[in-house]
Structure 1
Amino acid sequence: MDRPVIACVLAGGTGSRLYPASRSDRPKQFHSFGGERSLLSQTMDRTAFADERVVLTRESFADEIHDHAPEAGVLIEPDGKDTGPALVYAAWRLRDRFDREPVLICLPSDHHVTDEAAFAAVLERAAEIAVETDGLVTLGVEPTRPATGYGYIVPTRSDIDEDGHAAVERFTEKPDREEATRLVDAGAYWNAGIFAWTPSALLRDARESPLAPLVDALEDGDPDGGFDAVDAISIDYAIMERATDVSVTPLSVGWDDLGTWDAVGRVLETTRDDTANDLVAGDVLSIDAANNVVAAPDSHVSVLEVDDLIVAAFDDRILVAPRDASQRVRDVVTRLRERDAF
């Protein structure tokens, strides 16, 4: 491909569902969760093919980015208003980095991937598709189970064409288990939140979306005013679900979104030894206990005759919850924020 490629890695969130490991001053992308290197560092390795790599983050995290991604540029979003405004801002800022308009590969910094080379190859192909179609491209993960914690992408047909992509019929937000099973059986994909587009393509569709005031303000040289003019909204709600030029290309590698303690446990299950529990770190004594996610790097934890729990202890904070309540950990964070204690 004769277009430059810029990998834009999103690292501005705090990861509230991984509390208490992830806090307002210590977001999840700077953690390793059982690995040797941080999630952000691992993500940067997967984008080594790009001509330029940029980390999109908030100002309070900027100084620490270079500890995890010394090879990357840092782009600070004016305000934390979810992925919609952030990615439109990135497209506007990065569109003139090269003599030719680049292709942007936009991906989160908190994913687990089993085959790095295959993953990078799909990203490169997605960039090519974005140029060929002059549209928006999303990666769809081939599901391994009827997960209720992910959104789904429904293609217009179940057989992907020889060019490696299909038009998107619709996006479906997190379904219940019955609907998730139906979607998997029908050939839908998990929505990984990984995208490819040219800046002009994204900004074109953004002008027909709730983010139009932001685009206008950016063109007038007033990014702060543009962020003030729009509400916090995800890129899916703001643009992807409304656009008519969206394609999906399959991602057929082992993948997980490390957004919850349950997901961390799933990843550890593939690498652990014969222990009955998923141990992120720490000194753990387990007696007749199984399928617990235990994360306590600086503490001793004993678990006795309990199954399917999250036990996470970081600094002076301890979380104990059923493993299947992983998505609700953000409710704890909401209450703590109300008390100014997050």
Structure 2
Amino acid sequence: RAQLPELPDEAFLIEPGRRGTAHCIIFALDYIARHHDKDEPIAFIHSDHNVRDLAGFARSFATAGKISNKNNEIVLIGIEPTFPSTGFGYIERDGVLDEDAGVYNVESFKEKPDFETAVEYVRSGNYLWNCGYFVGSVNTFLNELSQSAPELEKNYSLLAAIAEHGSDEYNAAYLSLDNQVIDIALIEKAKSLAVVSARFDWMDIGNFKDLHDVVVKDEENNYFKGENIHPIEVDNVYVRNEESDKPVAIIGLDNVVVVNTPDGILVARKDVSARAGEVAKKLQK
């Protein structure tokens, strides 16, 4: 809400508790079904991606929406790989649905590969980076749930039968569900999928190194956010201070991330900052 102040409160759907992307999505589908046309295409998009080519981004999703409505199937967005990345999963495409629009049938999904396998994927020309975007209407998703994910369909029906979305009864029912990932619970089991081949400038901001790459920096390649920050002879650093009454001093460092919040302090080399997730998991236990 702080990042999107122009949107009204009713534009935000907040899970009662974390139950994985599969149940988060049926939570959203149920709300949309109650308030909107169930045949209108919906796009599910990650919030931590950086997209510079907004026009190309919009064109890809418009194409996906048209194909989804036409064929009554979920449509993915895949990125044409520009190098053999080991950090993304891949979508294998097979069979052209619309060559001019760059739409293909989905043959299979591949987990994050080793470097040699990634080289083969890129060399073949048959694979796209899987960025986790998919498009379909409520009815399209419900149709696929009935065919490929009966447990998710049952859970959707459980929520849809409750009179008020977001009521205490509704929230209790939602919290009774288990934690499931949409890719495993539905997408990889789907009977029929299409993928739009996209070329817009895109980055999955999965760690502080990626975040530092996209923010506006000073002449020494430093980024500072917050007050009471005191750098001396630093280069290529990302520093954020969320407690203005606490001074943060950084002296003689480079290639580091320093984040101070009321809940804790992170200090790490940027190239290994993704391991902050390991620490977060330990702290949750």
TM-score, normalised via structure 1 length: 0.68
Q: Which residue of 2 aligns with 1:205?
A: 144
Q: Establish whether residue 295 from structure 1 lines up as the match of residue 240 from structure 2.
A: yes
1:6 equivalent in structure 2:
none
Q: Within 5 Å, which residues of 2 pair with 1:121-160?
A: 121-156=59-94
Distance 2:207 2:8 in 1: 27
- Report the Cα offset of residue 272 of structure 1: 3.2
Q: Which runs of 5+ in 1 are unaligned?
A: 1-28, 31-37, 42-66
Q: Give the Å deviation of 1:273.
A: 4.5
Task: Write the distance in 1 (CA, Å) between the matches of 2:12 and 2:263.
Answer: 32
1:263-278 matches, cutoff 5 A = 263-268=210-215, 271-278=216-223
Structure 1 residues 68, 98: CA separation in 2 closer, same or farther (over 3 Å shift)? closer
Mapped partners of 2:22, 2:270: distance in 1: 30
Q: Distance in 2 between matches of 1:311 and 1:235?
A: 33
Q: TM-score, normalised by structure 2?
A: 0.80
CA distance in structure 1 between the aligned counterparts of 2:34 and 2:19, rounded to whole angstroms: 24
Give CA deviations for 1:157-182 in whole Å, capped at 9, x if unaligned.
Answer: 69972233111122223334443343
Q: How many residues align?
A: 272
Offset of residue 140 of structure 1: 1.4
Change (3 A) 1:151 1:278: farther
Kindly indicate whether residue 253 of structure 2 is the aligned counterpart of residue 311 of structure 1: no
Q: Are residues 1:189 and 2:128 paired?
A: yes
Report whether the alignment pairs 1:113 with 2:51. yes
Q: How many angstroms does 1:280 deviate by? A: 4.9
Q: CA deviation at 1:197?
A: 0.2
Counterparts of 2:222 and 2:100 in 1: how far apart (Å)? 43
1:186 and 1:293 mapped to 2: Cα distance? 38
DSSP-derived class of the 2:45 partner: strand
Deviations 1:78-118 (A, max 9, x none): 43211111112222331253466221122233322112233
Pairing 1:256–2:197 present: no
Cα separation, partners in 2 of 1:144 and 1:203, compared to 1, 3 Å: same
Distance 1:181 1:266, change over 3 A: farther
Q: Go from structure 1 to structure 2 and tell me whether the alpha carbon gap of 1:159 and 1:93 turns closer, same or farther (over 3 Å shift).
A: closer
**RMSD value over aligned CA atoms?**
3.1
> Residues 211 and 230 of structure 1 are in contact (CA less than 8 Å); yes or no, is this contact kept in structure 2?
no
**Runs of at least 5 residues in structure 2 that lack an aligned partner in the other structure:** 163-168
Q: Distance in 2 between matches of 1:128 and 1:87?
A: 21
Once the two structures are superposed, what CA deviation does each residue of 1:40-86 show, in whole Å capped at 9, x if it has no partner?
x3xxxxxxxxxxxxxxxxxxxxxxxxx46238623343432111111
For the residues of structure 2 that align with 1:99 and 1:211, how far apart are their CA atoms? Answer: 21
Larger-gyration structure (1/2): 2
**Equivalent position SS for 1:206:** helix
- 1:234 aligns with 181
